[in-house]
Amino acid sequence: MSQVRLRFAPSPTGYLHVGGARTALFNWLLARKQHGKFILRIEDTDVARSTQQSVDAILEGMTWLGLDWDEGPFYQSDNFPLYKEYVQKLLAAGKAYKCYCSSEELEAKREQALKEGGKPKYDGTCRELAAQPDDGRPYVVRFKAPQQGTTSWVDLVKGKISFENAELDDLIVQRTDGTPTYNFVVVVDDASMAITTVIRGDDHVNNTPRQILLYQALESEVPSFAHVPMILGADKARLSKRHGATSVIAYREMGFLPEAMVNYLVRLGWSYGDEEIFSLEDLIQKFSIENVGRSAGVFNTEKLLWLNAHYIKNGDPVRLAGLVTPFLSERGVKPEGGPDLVAVVKTLQERAKTMLELADGALFYYRGDFAYDEKGAAKFFNAETPALLAELLGKLEALGSFDLAAIEGVFKAICEEKGIKLGQIAPAVRLALSGSTASPGIYEMIEVFGKAETGKRLERAIAAIK
């Protein structure tokens, strides 16, 4: 079999939407799985709506997700001469014609057709013009579509789909200003890039029969098509801003990891038994278009959070430390000079659902001037606490090796000596070190702070209680 060639063809009129990212991911996975090529094509023929900012945002989103491309990015706006050439080809072969109907005439015909209960499609006035007007009148170029028969394809997701050709219009391929239209450029590009499989959203199903007819007219091989269902919000309406963030990069900013996002997106439409956790490498092995379902996926933030928590918990602390740094600086914290950030991350990654939570959880390590949780202080700071904390401090300072086991040993010794339970000292220590009643384990915190900082915080609490 010849090499598969897939593409992602976003229109740069906004950020990378989660739906677009999933389409990109499916194309990328199939290309990687079958050792083919993944091509990035920017569909910017709508010059007025396309922006460089949006191109950058799309590339940023794809790079973040790890979806690298082998060819491109190609820009349709660079290809206008090619599209012109193809229009000429169709005209020369009698497969397209110039249409001189004015927009007023077309509008009148449309209204007439609607009034008569017919479909408002082009009536073919210029299809067989005996003579071309030579008065410099503006014209569009229309594709001379077959009027009989059916156009069908076996969709890799939806099965066989057929359209009656009689239902399809003589599509405009070139406007009066000489610019090509959307369905035409997609076909010219997919044909000239030798795309073998088109995976895209099922909002394009109605374009496909028109595109197939164009491939045939251009005598190009028709690729196979896979139209994937849309992503819906919880209310089963198409996912939109109203449901929350739809930009992939917004999820990075909310503290999601790219591997969680990829894992989440792939499962919105594809399944593999009842497995839930997939790395990119797993997916390259296991992904297949046959296992993409026909029904629409519903976006579920809870599940995304669950996956994110999984990847944070199992993530490499060195990498996580790098990723959390920008969130910390947004919060005015520079880890340099404070406790080792990797060690800090290790104490927090077990419980954080997002990198944002991880950053918030890390703040107390770097800020010693916090207020003590009021309820906690009322409950756990009492008349005996200063003496206990002082005792603890003395024992910790006397330690040789300052590791978890040694620290734990100090607590055991104090409990034994005083005849108290750990629960009678630990909450006060927690509060003294972190200001809060919920924190990482106290031995871990003490180890991360080291002797000097632990001492400072215990003394601060002692002074505050007195």
Catalytic site residues? 241
* CB contact at 8 A, 303 and 263: no
- Binding to ligand GLU (CB under 6 A) within 311-370 occurs at none
The two three-digit tokens of residue 65, written as one number: 């997700």
If the CB atoms of residues 21 and 388 are measured against ligand GLU, the closer one turns out to be 21
Residue 11 as a binder of ligand GLU (CB under 6 A): the answer is yes
Residue 227 as a binder of ligand GLU (CB under 6 A): the answer is no
Binding segment for ligand GLU (CB under 6 A), chosen from 9-17, 162-170, 252-260, 365-373, is 9-17
Binding segment for ligand GLU (CB under 6 A), chosen from 6-14, 60-68, 149-157, 242-250, is 6-14
For residues 229 and 224, what is the distance between their CA atoms, to the nearest angstrom?
Answer: 17
**Total residues contacting ligand GLU (rule CB under 6 A)?**
8
Residue 127 C-beta: closest distance to ligand GLU, Å: 27
If the CB atoms of residues 7 and 346 are measured against ligand GLU, the closer one turns out to be 7
Measured at CB, which residue is nearest to ligand GLU?
200
Residue 204 as a binder of ligand GLU (CB under 6 A): the answer is yes
Binding segment for ligand GLU (CB under 6 A), chosen from 150-158, 161-169, 198-206, 317-325, is 198-206
Residue 36 as a binder of ligand GLU (CB under 6 A): the answer is no
Out of 37, 200, 210, 267, the residue judged to bind ligand GLU by CB under 6 A: 200
If the CB atoms of residues 142 and 227 are measured against ligand GLU, the closer one turns out to be 227
If the CB atoms of residues 52 and 382 are measured against ligand GLU, the closer one turns out to be 52
If the CB atoms of residues 60 and 459 are measured against ligand GLU, the closer one turns out to be 60
Determine the residue type at 223.
Answer: P
Out of 10, 335, 435, 440, the residue judged to bind ligand GLU by CB under 6 A: 10
Residues at the site binding ligand GLU, with contacts judged by CB under 6 A: 9-11, 43, 186, 198, 200, 204
